[in-house]
Amino acid sequence: MTKRWVNRPEGSTWGDWGEDDQLGRVNLLTPEKVKAAVSEVQDGRSFCLSLPLDLPGGNSVNPKRHPPKFGVVNHPPGSDGVYYNLVWKDYQDGNMDVSSDECTTLWNQYSTQWDSFAHVGSLFDANGDGEPESVYYNGFRAGEEILGPDHADGMGARVLSVGGMAKAGMQGRGVILDMVPHVGTGRTVVGYDSLMEMLDADKIIVEEGDFFLFHTGWDDMILDMAGDPDAKKLHSSGAVLDGYDEKLLQWITDSGVVAIISDNMAVEDSSGFGESQGGCSRLPLHRHCLFRLGVHLGELWHLSELATALRDQGRSRFLLTAPPLYLPGAVGSPSTPIATI
Ligand code: UVW
């Protein structure tokens, strides 16, 4: 029995790295793993795996998330320290400096992003009183440690936030599968069998401690739409993982991957709702990874150029360096991931 739970979800890693652990499989990124990742660098070329953070554009792709807004929302320009082209001599005789300062209102999960473990939890009877409560990875509690905007102590994830990921560095070996040559860019729900066929065909081996990435073609579609996205087209395009496929979830458990990352919106098919381990869910792969296993998810990354460069060389592995913002309290974060091949 640990401090926070008497029941742990079946098949979970809760407690495996200690009762206060907040890093999950990031614990597998040992110095040896990082050195092995560095040894994947062959020609020294780097790729930025972020989309411009003002894409997809608008909020039709995900109505609850909006593009970044410069300036303090609801404040006139010039207030709260936001200013552009300030002429200092107006305030200080003879000063020839001109400068600009800004503030950005950022929806942290609008564009290229990481999900922390504080992003998705589950109703689960962790304390064994017969009633499920809202809990996150390793038994941390909603309302006690993951605090909403109405909480008297102020909003923010006191635990499990992206701050821990930033401090850990999020650096290791990336392994990428380009699904586009296999299934095209139409909507395909990929389960275990089809994932294994693609990995086998491309001779890709995923090992414990790897970041697993898959490319679906969403990134180039978003870039081609240039800020005016066709949400209907996007939501009927590109491969998504089948979170209801128990064999696929078991593969995530057995593979030992640290994170699953894609250029699509949610890694998994987010259009369904149905029975999964632990009860009905709209995002069963999120629950399996973020709540049960301690596996981070990366979404809306720009993977096409990297996928092509590696495919041209018959390779799939590279060094990935992908810290989120060091923003304690945030449940998600933009990232500017760098792949070096
Ligand atoms: C949800 O929509 C809950 O999450 P995500 O952006 O991680 O898919």
pLDDT in tens, 133-175: 999 999 999 999 999 999 999 999 999 999 999 999 999 999 9
Q: H-type helices in 256-289, by residue range?
A: 284-286
State yes or no: pLDDT of 295 exceeds 80: yes
Residue of minimum CA distance from atom 8 in ligand 1: 266
Q: Could you give the 3-state DSSP secondary structure of residue 97?
A: coil
Nearest atom within ligand 1 for CA of residue 297: 7
Q: Which of 119, 162, 218, 296 to mutate to test the pocket of ligand 1 (most atoms within 8 A of CB)?
A: 119
State yes or no: pLDDT of 291 exceeds 80: yes
Domain ranges of the chain: 24-61+107-120+159-340
pLDDT digits (tens, 9 = 90+) for 43-102: 999 999 999 999 999 999 999 999 999 887 777 667 777 888 889 899 999 999 999 988
State yes or no: pLDDT of 2 exceeds 70: no
Nearest atom within ligand 1 for CA of residue 109: 6
Residue of minimum CA distance from atom 4 in ligand 1: 266
pLDDT for position 293: 98
Distance 161 CA to ligand 1 centre (A): 15
Looking at the domain that runs over 24-61+107-120+159-340, which CATH code has it been given?
A: 3.50.30.50
Residue 314, judged by CB atoms within 10 A of its CB (0-12, 13-18, 19+), counts as exposed
Distance 242 CA to ligand 1 centre (A): 15
Residue of minimum CA distance from atom 3 in ligand 1: 120
Distance 266 CA to ligand 1 centre (A): 6
pLDDT digits (tens, 9 = 90+) for 240-286: 999 999 999 999 999 999 999 999 999 999 999 999 999 999 999 99
Q: Strand pairing partners for 259?
A: 211, 296
Mention every residue, 6+ apart, whose C-beta is less than 8 A from residue 96. Answer: 88, 89
pLDDT for position 3: 81
- 109 pLDDT band, cuts 50/70/90, is very high
pLDDT for position 93: 95
pLDDT for position 77: 67
Residue of minimum CA distance from atom 1 in ligand 1: 266
pTM of the predicted model over 0.85: yes
Structural tokens at position 210 = 């790897």
Q: Which of 114, 115, 240, 273 to mutate to test the pocket of ligand 1 (most atoms within 8 A of CB)?
A: 115
Q: Which of 113, 299, 301 to mutate to test the pocket of ligand 1 (most atoms within 8 A of CB)?
A: 299
Secondary structure of 15-59 in HEC code, one letter for each residue: CCCCCCCCCHHHHHCCHHHHHHHHCCCCCCCEEECCCCCCCCCCC
Under a CB-based contact definition with an 8 Å cutoff, are residues 133 and 126 in contact? yes
pLDDT for position 48: 98
Q: Which residues line ligand 1 (CB under 6 A)?
A: 109, 115, 119-120, 266, 270, 283, 286, 297, 299
Residue of minimum CA distance from atom 2 in ligand 1: 266
pLDDT digits (tens, 9 = 90+) for 310-337: 999 999 999 999 999 999 999 999 999 9
